[in-house]
Chain A
């Protein structure tokens, strides 16, 4: 009798426990990455709204992939040059980041508001992988997780050549803004 009760308790507990868990994994397919290059001659800005990202707030794992061809420029020619001459999108179709949140506790999200966090990991652009530390914020809004970060990328670090002739037009350091609004990933 007692054993049967135990089975019930465990079963009910198991059923209740899984959904009651607040989601730990979040993802999006439509995250936004913007970059901005400012020089006295010309400002260049592009937006990519097809960033796929996944975040696990418990383990602190964080990853995103960026389809390079999806960067939209105000000028078509800029977009063509970006893909053809600079990042070589056909050869390197995606930029990747795979990293870990350092010193971040999932519990902090319950306080509300943006919580500072630092992601550390490998950023791969143009086929070049580099270890980077990126400061940003995480915020729980309803059941969504907002991830924001801003950092600078040195084009030379990723073997992106800028020919002499246009060096006045393209900044050596490009500011990158990441904005991800992630939904909870359905637990399988």
Chain B
């Protein structure tokens, strides 16, 4: 009897040690990997482009909640204007802009271009954001609506009204970051002009843009951007906008240097009003400099 009890206690002790022990022997790291797989699901893809502009046009990026971006853009004169104009460097058009992120998705901005003394304002909303993980979103979609107002003085006998100063642009920006270094963007675009010079000119100009960014190092990237005008009077009389450049990032600044056949820096200029032939030397050298300031708070 006593022996049986000893045996029972031994068995009991063994059971107590062995049964939970079996589970314990399972690799802790394996269990953890299972646990953390959940915590990795759905993370947003960041920095599809370095700045809020690819070159001339907007990228899907917004400044982010509470961030104010100051943007200085310059385009010099045409390269083929000759030595007399110092190959374009004698002239310059400029746009100064401010952009602010109200939330991580919504941003608004204002700007002033020296070209046709134009004020512009826009709202930009990140509708979809590319993500990784289970059930990931394959691409990012940002909607953009801009208004441009030219403040040029009308001719004394002009019958133009105030409304005729306005131009609107609507874009759906679709982008995918294919790898940490390659991002591609497509931009179906509508430019609506309240006023055009001639009857045959289009009030509504449709275009499709394509852009890409290829990083060469962590802080240096090549960029390209092209807007194709859909067939119509505008496509017959104007050229498609082409721009090639590179991005350099240093701390809170992004420097973008580029060559383009469009001297204008807002949609209403470079999409329907580009006249330069890039391959015949109508090349405008230019740069964008952006500086980000964090004003408002973010979630911790």
Contact = CB atoms under 8 A, between A and B. Distances in A.
Contacts of A74: 294, 297-298, 300
Interface string B9-32: 001100110011001100011011
Given A17-B12, A90-B180, A165-B251, A75 B67 contact: yes
Identify whether the interface residues of B are mostly helix, strand, loop, or mixed: mixed
Contact of A2 (B1, B19, B101, B297): B1
Given A13-B15, A27-B35, A69-B43, A77 B24 contact: no
B294 A83 contact: no
Given A14-B12, A50-B39, A76-B65, A27 B32 contact: yes
Given A52-B39, A74-B297, A80-B47, 12 more contacts: A10-B15, A14-B12, A18-B19, A30-B39, A56-B28, A59-B24, A72-B298, A72-B299, A77-B64, A77-B294, A84-B218, A169-B251
Contacts of A9: 8, 12
A119 interface: no
Interface stretch (A60-68, A107-115, A129-137, A149-157): A60-68
Contacts of A64: 32
Interface stretch (A91-99, A139-147, A171-179): A91-99
Q: Name the residue among A51, A80, A169 with the largest chain B CB count within 10 angstroms.
A: A80
Interface in B193-251: 218-219, 249-251
Interface string B74-108: 00000000000000000000000000010010000
B251 A29 contact: no
A79 interface: yes
A102 interface: no
Contact of B20 (A24, A62, A94, A165): A24
Interface residues of A, number: 56
A73 B249 CA distance: 19
Given A14-B12, A50-B39, A76-B65, A61 B28 contact: yes
Contacts of B158: none
Given A29-B38, A74-B300, A88-B180, A63 B64 contact: no
Interface of B: 1, 4, 7-8, 11-12, 15-16, 19-20, 23-24, 28-29, 31-33, 35-36, 38-40, 43-44, 46-47, 63-67, 101, 104, 179-180, 218-219, 249-252, 292, 294, 297-300
B13 to A, nearest CB: 8
15 contacts: A9-B12, A17-B15, A27-B35, A47-B300, A56-B24, A58-B24, A75-B294, A76-B63, A77-B67, A80-B46, A84-B46, A84-B180, A90-B180, A94-B40, A163-B219
Interface in A6-32: 6, 9-10, 13-14, 17-18, 21, 24-25, 27, 29-30
Contacts of A70: 39, 43
Nearest to B297: A74
Nearest to A96: B29
Q: Name the residue among A65, A76, A166 with the largest chain B CB count within 10 angstroms.
A: A76
